[in-house]
Structure 1
Amino acid sequence: MSALAQEVLWSPDVDPAVLPLVRTPDFLSSASSGPLTALGEEHKSPEGRHALHNARALTQLLFLPGSDAHGQLAALIPLDAQTLGRIEALTRFWRSWQGRAVPPDTRVTAQQRRRFRLMMQAADGRSNGASYRDIAIALYGLSRIAADPWKTSALRDAVIGLVEGATSLIGGGYLQILRHRRRA
């Protein structure tokens, strides 16, 4: 199966947007939540059972041992450095589940998504033997590349930066994409 066709399931330790769900404690049982719908296939792991919820927005859920997707559920939000990101993920999930407008995921901006795409294209070209100039032509077009001397071109520096950034992402830096960058 192609990597593009497979579900990617993350641990909540790696991706703060994964929502761990537990059985609602008995003293909170008067708060009826109703069953979850729009759940994908469940996948067992040492942590529990993972499933994707896709009503209006895709959310990965982790049903911890003792919880039931059709029973009363509560979200478990660890109090750690990623708490605010986890609360945002919970808010997106809850709004999706309730059929309300879902706010965008703020971990990655549109500009960052565009740069990630360019980095992956540059890395793909480089791994297939393309020169930096060839990559620049593919990304920016021949007319823009021909407008300036290549050795001193700002686009040359940009392509080198894209390849270096992609190398960092491929080496494990992609995990930082899953977390918010918060000011200290």
Structure 2
Amino acid sequence: MVKPPNSSPGADWRRCAAYDYTAALPRRGWAWEFLRRDAAYRRAWSEASAARTATEAVVFWDSRACPHVLPIRALPAAVQGDSGRFSLSEVPCRAALLRMPDGRQHLLFSESGCALQLDIRGTSLSEPVRLLTDAVLPAVHLRARLATLEGLANIVGRGRFPDYRMIEPRGRRLRVVLQALDGWLAGAPYREIAVALFGEARVEADWRDPRDHLRDQVRRAVRRGRELMRGGYRKLLR
């Protein structure tokens, strides 16, 4: 198994294999990878948490920003043996529970960079509950919320994380962008970033090409990485 970097983000940016852990990341995993590189985020929160990759970190998203977070109402379970009864202690999947001062509870199931999150109001999950959600959903959120609901049914009914992996199809491109961004954050010149991305031989052959194809490719990757780091990652949450 590839061990992802666990110090500061991008500390090993010259080595392409250091990014192998991103191969199966879903969109929310990529969102975290770009967010955790933002200096303002790292100042506001813990450097230690920002050092954790998307396959390691426990990341809770706000349902207003991420339609995949399913709003839920929890009510006390009526009777023992109720078919709709949910008991967190009986779910074998990896789970993290965040209790907010206002009484809301965020429940996160996660596995290998994939996650399923519930935004729960009502009865505490410290006891068995019935979980309810709206049957009529905003059209813009419909597919995302239904996917989360299906995943939850799989966890509760089969006792394991959903089989599907919603891998981001643009992952290969995002990997290049992420590595280029890390080189830029490290203060490396564009040529050095190009060597890390494409190899010394190609850079020697194409770097001085008057059409500037390779230079432009590196510049675009860095620019895109900066955009995603500075707020563009939110689009990956949708």
Q: TM-score range by the shorter chain?
A: 0.7 to 0.9
The equivalent residue for 2:185 is: 127
Measure the CA separation in 1 of the matches of 2:173 and 2:136. Answer: 31
* Alignment map for 1:14-163 (pairs within 5 Å): 14-23=65-74, 31-36=83-88, 37=91, 38=93, 40-45=95-100, 46=102, 48-54=104-110, 58-66=115-123, 68=125, 70-76=128-134, 79-80=137-138, 81-99=140-158, 102-105=163-166, 108-109=168-169, 112-148=170-206, 149-163=208-222
The TM-score, its normalising length taken from structure 1, stands at 0.78
Number of aligned residues: 175
More deviation, 57-66/119-128:
57-66
- CA change 1:162–1:66 in 2 (3 A) is same
Q: Is the 8 A contact 2:76 2:129 kept in 1?
A: no
- CA change 1:152–1:97 in 2 (3 A) is farther
> Larger relative contact order (C-alpha < 8 A, sep ≥ 6)?
2
Q: Unaligned stretches of 5+ in structure 1?
A: 180-184
Measure the CA separation in 2 of the matches of 1:137 and 1:160. Answer: 13
SS in 1 for 2:59: coil
Q: Is the 8 A contact 2:96 2:109 kept in 1?
A: no
**Share of identical aligned residues, percent?**
29
SS in 1 for 2:106: strand
Measure the CA separation in 1 of the matches of 2:155 and 2:203. Answer: 45
Measure the CA separation in 1 of the matches of 2:231 and 2:95. Answer: 28
The equivalent residue for 2:59 is: 8
Q: CA deviation at 1:79?
A: 2.2
Given residue 105 of structure 1, which amino acid in structure 2 is its aligned partner? M
Q: Unaligned stretches of 5+ in structure 2?
A: 1-47
More deviation, 66-75/159-168:
66-75
The TM-score, its normalising length taken from structure 2, stands at 0.62
Measure the CA separation in 1 of the matches of 2:183 and 2:198. Answer: 14
SS in 1 for 2:95: coil
Q: CA deviation at 1:155?
A: 2.3
Q: CA deviation at 1:12?
A: 1.0
Measure the CA separation in 2 of the matches of 1:161 and 1:65. Answer: 47
Q: CA deviation at 1:176?
A: 0.4
Given residue 143 of structure 2, which amino acid in structure 1 is its aligned partner? L
Show structure 1 runs of 4+ deviating over 6 A.
none
Given residue 156 of structure 1, which amino acid in structure 2 is its aligned partner? R
